[in-house]
Amino acid sequence: MANRTSTQNLRKRVRYHYRGNAAGSTLRLTLGCLLGLELRRVGSGKRMTFSTAGEATLTRWMATNARVCWVEQDEPWDLESRLISELDLPLNLDQNRRNAFHGRLKELRAQARQGARDLPIDT
């Protein structure tokens, strides 16, 4: 597999998942959709988040329910690919089409995006 580098370290990436918004975190987008939060277009209308209140609700939910752990790995993209292929990780869409929940989650996220496009831009 090719080298997939990131400009952010693990701490910054995890922090963004916990404190950022759905526009920059696929984890937040997925969790918010599963929790039934309303996705909205913001700013110029190209970015989509769960509004200020929705993002705050998601942050509180994650603080109570989501946990993170990690192992040091020189080439984490190799381990990621192997774990996705060997474990049942229903929230991962990338490299995970074989998962039984993949199609439903993809559809749920697409419906949320379409719903946001149908609403006025949130100010």
Tokens of 1: 């597999």
Residue 19 near residue 2 (C-beta atoms within 8 A): no
DSSP state of 38: P
Q: What is the pLDDT of residues 69-103, one digit of tens each?
A: 888 888 888 888 888 889 888 998 988 899 899 99
Q: What is the pTM of this model?
A: 0.84
Residue 62 near residue 68 (C-beta atoms within 8 A): no
Q: What is the pLDDT of residues 28-83, one digit of tens each?
A: 999 999 999 999 999 999 999 998 999 999 999 999 999 988 888 888 888 888 88
Residue keyed to tokens 């404190």: 19
Nearest to 61 by CA among 30, 24, 105, 84: 30
Q: Distance of alpha carbon 5 from its chain centroid, rounded?
A: 19
Q: What pLDDT shows up at residue 10? A: 77
Q: What are the distances in angstroms from CA 122 to CA 7, 22, 39, 53, 118?
A: 30, 14, 10, 12, 12
> Roughly how many angstroms between the first and final C-alpha of the chain, as a whole number?
42
Q: What are the distances in angstroms from CA 14 to CA 20, 25, 29, 45, 55?
A: 10, 10, 14, 26, 16
